[in-house]
């Protein structure tokens, strides 16, 4: 999952078809993260950065994969949604490699931490 949301454009329906994911799973994940019926009718480019990030997270979770790679998934995400993502990760235990600065999230979901430090 990319940190950038710049590529998100068009309707949710078109997005789902373009990325070939299950629409019902995708929408269920977005609903769990607080999307309303009105939000589902909003074009992606008109959404807030937090909503766009939720779209990317829901897309990633909706895809079948052996390993998920997330780059700062919690950017622009509110506390309630962070907790919901945390619960989902803890419940399903996907193999997940992620870069994240939210220490609380890292401490709760990571099973192994690799810390990179600048030698400068």
Coil, helix or strand at residue 105: helix
pTM above 0.85, yes or no: no
Coil, helix or strand at residue 116: coil
Which domains, ranges and CATH numbers included, belong to the chain? Answer: 12-109 (3.40.50.300)
Q: Quote the DSSP letter at residue 45.
A: G
> Which among 25, 31, 43 has a CA at the least distance from the CA of 92?
25
Residue 33: predicted pLDDT:
87
Residue 120: predicted pLDDT:
67
Token pair belonging to 97: 């490699």
Averaged pLDDT, groups of 10, the chain, 120 residues long: 86 95 92 91 94 92 90 89 88 90 93 84
Q: 60 with 70: CB under 8 angstroms?
A: yes
């Amino acid at each position: 999952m990319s940190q950038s949301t710049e590529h998100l454009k068009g309707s949710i329906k078109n997005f789902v078809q373009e990325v070939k994911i299950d629409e019902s799973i995708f929408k269920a994940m977005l609903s769990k993260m607080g999307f309303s019926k009105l939000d589902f009718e909003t074009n992606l480019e008109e959404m807030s950065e937090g909503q766009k990030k939720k779209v990317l997270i829901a897309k990633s979770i909706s895809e079948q994969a052996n390993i998920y790679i997330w780059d700062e998934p919690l950017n622009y995400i509110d506390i309630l949604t962070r907790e919901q993502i945390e619960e989902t990760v803890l419940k399903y235990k996907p193999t997940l490699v992620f870069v994240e600065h939210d220490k609380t999230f890292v401490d709760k979901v990571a099973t192994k931490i690799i810390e990179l430090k600048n030698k400068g």
